[in-house]
Amino acid sequence: MHKRSGKRLHGVASSDAVDLTKITLKTLLQAVVEASDVFPPLKSVAAGLNFIVENAQTVKANKADMESLLRRMSRLSELPRLDDDEELRRREVLEKELENIRSVLSPIKKRNAVRRFVEASHTAALIQEYVRQITRALEEYQVSLLQDLYKLNIEQTVRHFCIS
């Protein structure tokens, strides 16, 4: 029997102990799957349990990834705004892309635990695709902004030399 004192177990923080237990369980299940060819029922049970453990980890990762994605989208919406028509057009395109992604992510976030578990792999792929879409939209915004700033800089330089 282990003696607990506070949140530590034999000098190991409880969160570290939980992580170590999860890693050990996963490693043992994988070892049983790999080494149990002579006893197919054991291999089937271990493979099933291993799938459940991996899928549960995917669900947890999906939740963290979705929260990170939503935070990133929120920060993008707070970019400073310039007061010109081209900037308004750029922002409208970016905001439309972000809103489309929010409208898909919002229902996913509200799904019950069983559905999130069943759709874990699909949701992970979906989140990765939305990260790519946001990255692409932000890159397009930045390129367009840099082009306008370059044009503005050229115009100001030409005016400066014409006046001088």
pLDDT digits (tens, 9 = 90+) for 40-86: 888 888 888 888 888 888 888 888 888 888 888 787 777 766 677 88
List, edge to edge, every strand of the sheet that includes 12-13.
4-5, 8-9, 12-13
Whole-structure pTM value: 0.58
Q: Distance between CA atoms of 94 and 129, rounded to whole angstroms?
A: 16
**5 beta partners:** 8
Q: State the helix-helix crossing angle for 14-35 and 40-77, rounded to 10 degrees.
A: 140
Beta strands in 1-95 (DSSP E): 4-5, 8-9, 12-13
Q: Distance between CA atoms of 36 and 31, rounded to whole angstroms?
A: 8
Q: Residue 59 corresponds to which tokens in the numbers above?
A: 């669900």
Task: Decide: 130 and 69 in contact? Cβ < 8 Å.
Answer: yes
Closest CA to 131 of 160, 151, 104: 104
For residue range 26-44, list pLDDT tens digits in order. 888 888 888 888 888 888 8
Q: Distance between CA atoms of 79 and 92, rounded to whole angstroms?
A: 12
pLDDT on residue 8: 53
Closest CA to 63 of 10, 150, 124, 104: 124
Q: Distance between CA atoms of 83 and 9, rounded to whole angstroms?
A: 59
For residue range 75-114, list pLDDT tens digits in order. 777 776 667 788 888 888 888 888 888 888 888 888 888 8
Q: Distance between CA atoms of 41 and 18, rounded to whole angstroms?
A: 28
Q: Distance between CA atoms of 47 and 56, rounded to whole angstroms?
A: 14
